[in-house]
Structure formats: C-alpha cells, structure tokens
Amino acid sequence: MLAFCQEHGPFLQENTSEKFHKNPYSWNNEANVLYIEQPAGVGYSTCDWKNHPEDCTFNDDSSSKDNLEVILQWYEKYQEFKTNELYITGESYGGIYVPFAANQLYHYNQANLHSGKFKPNFKGFLVGNGVTNWKYDT
C-alpha cells in the first residue's frame, strides 16, 4: 500500500497531511499496473486456514507458482491486455520473489513455445533496493 499510495500510485499523501493530491508522475499514466498481494494470507489477500491450511503454507518456490497462476488467470479474464508487454517489478523482499516469479514465467513460456497456449509477452523484471541474500540483507 505504501508503494501504491506514496510512490507510484495516482495519488500522493504527504507524511504529515491527511489529504491526497494527484501524482503527476503516476505509473498508471504510462502503463497498466497490477498489484499482487503475496503470499496468500498477507496484506489484503486471504487464505482459508480453517478448511484448506495446505493453501496457506508457502515458500518462495510455491509463491512463484501461485504468482504465475494469478498472472495467467488475470490475462484470461482481461484478454484485451494479452498483447501488452509484461514486466514484473518489486522492492525489498521482491529481490527474492520477483526473480522466482520471472523464472516461473520464463519456463512456462519456453515449455509452451509450440503448444498454441497463450504465453504472456514477458520482457523482463526490475527490483529496487532488493533483498538478494537472506543472511546479509535482513
């Protein structure tokens, strides 16, 4: 939410103010932006701990598989974006999960080169101030 509200969203709020104003440099002026809360159960995302606790257990690899599934299902629902270029971005722990998600997407596209299945137009990834080593960066 900090990134959305303070860094690249359509509105800004100064640290000491209760009022929002338009962000003239908002990312959505130049691109379509999709935020994915992950892993399941953090932030505003949900997880059914009572009935499906197995879906609430995760690691970097399982989260990357979930992210791939979210991306593919999103394109299925919003097909008008299928020809757009796709970049995956993140910051902080994104230094771990962004490359994991990019790897999943790359291998999905490679596995389906000649299958006729939809393949996102994946161009690359960006990480800002990323954690890249758990021992030294946390």
pLDDT digits (tens, 9 = 90+) for 53-91: 887 888 999 999 999 999 999 999 999 999 999 999 988
95 occurs within a structural domain: yes
Q: What is the pTM of this model?
A: 0.82
Q: How far apart are CA 96 and CA 99, in angstroms?
A: 6
pLDDT for 1 beyond 70: no
112 in the same domain as 71: yes
95 half-sphere exposure, CB direction, 13 A CA radius: 12
Is residue 41 one of the residues assigned to a domain?
no
Share of the chain above pLDDT 90, in %: 43
Over range 116-131, report the average pLDDT. 93
* Other residues' Cβ atoms within 10 Å of the Cβ of residue 112: 12
Range of the domain at 24: 1-32
Same domain, 63 and 120: yes
Backbone angles phi, psi at 21, to 5 degrees: -140, 160
82 and 132 together in one domain: yes
DSSP 10: S
Interval 33-59: pLDDT, tens: 888 888 877 877 788 889 988 878 889
